[in-house]
Amino acid sequence: MPQQIPALASRLKGLGFAGDPNAFADLTGFPMGAIISLGGCSASFVSPDGLIVTNHHCVQGALQYNSTPDRNLIENGFLAKSRGAELWNGPGARVFVTTSVKDVTDEIIGKIPAKLTDRQRFDWIERRTKERTAACEKDGLRCRIAPFFEGKSYFEIAQLEINDVRLVYAPGKGIGNFGGETDNWQWPRHTGDFGFFRAYVRKDGKPASFSRDNVPYRPKHWLTVSTKGANPGDLIFVAGYPGRTQRHETYPQVRERTQWTLPRAIRRAKEQLALLEEITKGDKALEIKAEQRKRGLNNGLTKNVGVLDGLVRGGLLAKKEAQERDLVVWIAADKARQAEYGDVLPALQTMQAESEKSRERNAVLAALNGPSSLLATADTLHRLSLERPKKDMDREPAFQERNWSRIRESLERMEKTYDPRLDRALFRHALVEAATLPADQRIAPLDAAVDLTAGRPAADAAKAIDAWLDAVYPKATLGDKAVRLALFTKPAAEIVASPDPFVKLAIALHPLHEAVREKEKSDAGKRSLLRPRYMRALLAKEGGLVAPDANSTLRVTYGTVKGVSPRDGMAYLPQTTLQGILEKQTGTGEFDAPKAELDAIQALRNGKRSPYVDPKLKDVPVDYLSDVDTTGGNSGSATLNSKNQLVGLLFDGTFDTVASDFLFDREKTRSIHVDSRYLLWVMTEVDGATNVLEEMKLD
């Protein structure tokens, strides 16, 4: 956490840091005031006029939203030559600027009556969280109460929420995604994974919805971009919003991931990708609509394969088991520790075993809403209609009034991704999976609707599924934006009266979803007592030297630019250069750099001078490796040098060590960054983004 950095002053000094470590703890000062979240990716301000730099793959949503078959920005990139030409990212785009972080542990879990049931304890914590959030949210702030150390501590994070975000510049796919899935999570890498947004607000500086009358946001702090980049041995810091790690899961939890969760996710991703490839082939409009889903599936697939490999073949699961065994021995060695912690692991193991009994059904039930936008929309509209009549504090958190605008925006944005051909194919995949559930885990309302039964031959089940899909898709109305938006404000009676077959299915499935949610709430109440005690045991055993799992809050990691030997007989150098682009270039598919870039490289080879050429490499650096600790959500994070200048952007990890989300390998884990010199060289020599360059401060 940023607040912990000052305690590491002596360690940082030993690494050559001459700056003030206290600066990292001041979230409204420099440099932390320039670090922002995009709600899934990290980013940073790089000009006084709200210019934002992040990863190329983090601007894909904006590129897709503004693309057509005749103007494919995903393939060709985009550059606004003036402020007026910048493109709105569409509904739902957000920039979050963290303004304060407060410890509210006592306010959330202090003085909770000991005699409460698990379910009552969950309600108590949720109510306090809602009340604290409501008190925090004012003047354009979006607030969140986040648990740390498995609920041992709670912090209130307040963020300025800016919802007019526009696309400024992104290079073409041949730069921003050079290497594609072949190079994904791999090294050496030659990807220019960068792009630019701009945040807009009202003239009085307050956040507002998209309007041509809005003006660029004026951040208090922004980063200077280094023209010297980062070099081997340099100390670097990465500041961003890592999404989720699972380093404090128990051994049975990680074992289940290894034996069931990950293999299932890998299989499903492969099957869905095959479906999407088949359906979209040769259809440019459909390819645009499916692009984000395909990239997300591919990215997750590759990472999950690497995680599973690291846990099993890499031995991390065995290390996790050994760690837990050591913890059990440590607890048993002292009567006081036995009294305080002795029952925790057995209780957590019992909960884990209980959850595994219904995991097949629950996983399939949850997945039904994922593939089908129609069913997901129907379920959202139905639940919203049930929650609206309640007082806001009594509503489910996702359906409180603070989230209504988000729900409406998702209904609007669906227009850019929905197509009945995509929806049907992916939903059919989920239904086929549901048809195979064992007799004791059936989804009865779905069976009744589609005419499925346990043990039915696969061919017969497929025929029943196809017949049902043939009947319902022509009658579906939620694919029409006007229909979706009209139902957004309707009461439950009118939702129930809708003839749309997906609304009817969502209503039929609702009681089972509710039963699952009720069980999850009761379990969460039980875990809120057990998990903090588990963490206190870990902290006590390790003398406090345990980091909280990532939870999408602002974090800082530090390390050095360095290569690695991932396995016997192999060594990764820490930097790549333009030469590697020439060596990989095929002119087709994933290795198709634009002609303008190839010409610019050739001009360098012919003697053209560039300030971005590294004198030691005698070439422009492209990407580099470091030993910082990052994960998903860190994409787009600012990589800073000791002067707090931007020397690159974090964008990936290496396949060999992605299992570090579960157990961090201090020796071999590496992250991948795009060098600021490559970013500046592409902007200068390839895309002519001089107007963007001119507003950034370079050093």
Beta bridge partners of 102: 156
Residue type at position 372? S
Paired tokens of 634: 């860190």
* Alpha-carbon span 582 to 597, nearest angstrom: 10
Residue of 37, 44, 47, 57 marked catalytic: 57
What is the dihedral sign for C-alpha 364, 370, 374, 380?
Answer: positive
Paired tokens of 98: 């963290």
Q: Are strands 164-170 and 141-148 parallel, antiparallel or unpaired?
A: unpaired
Paired tokens of 220: 């208090």
CB 603 within 8 A of CB 685: yes
Whether residue 20 lies in the annotated active site: no
Residue of 37, 372, 635, 660 marked catalytic: 635
CB 244 within 8 A of CB 551: yes
CB 198 within 8 A of CB 168: yes
SS3 label, residue 100: strand
Whether residue 57 lies in the annotated active site: yes
DSSP, res 115: T
CB 417 within 8 A of CB 60: no
Helix axes 404-413, 373-387, angle to 10 degrees: 160
Dihedral, CA atoms, 150, 153, 158, 163, nearest 10 degrees? 10
Residue of 164, 193, 234, 652 marked catalytic: 193
CB 641 within 8 A of CB 17: no
Whether residue 635 lies in the annotated active site: yes
* Alpha-carbon span 351 to 528, nearest angstrom: 13
* Alpha-carbon span 434 to 291, nearest angstrom: 26
SS3 label, residue 668: coil
| Listed residue (2, 32, 22) closest to 644, CA to CA | 32
Catalytic annotation, residues: 57, 193, 635
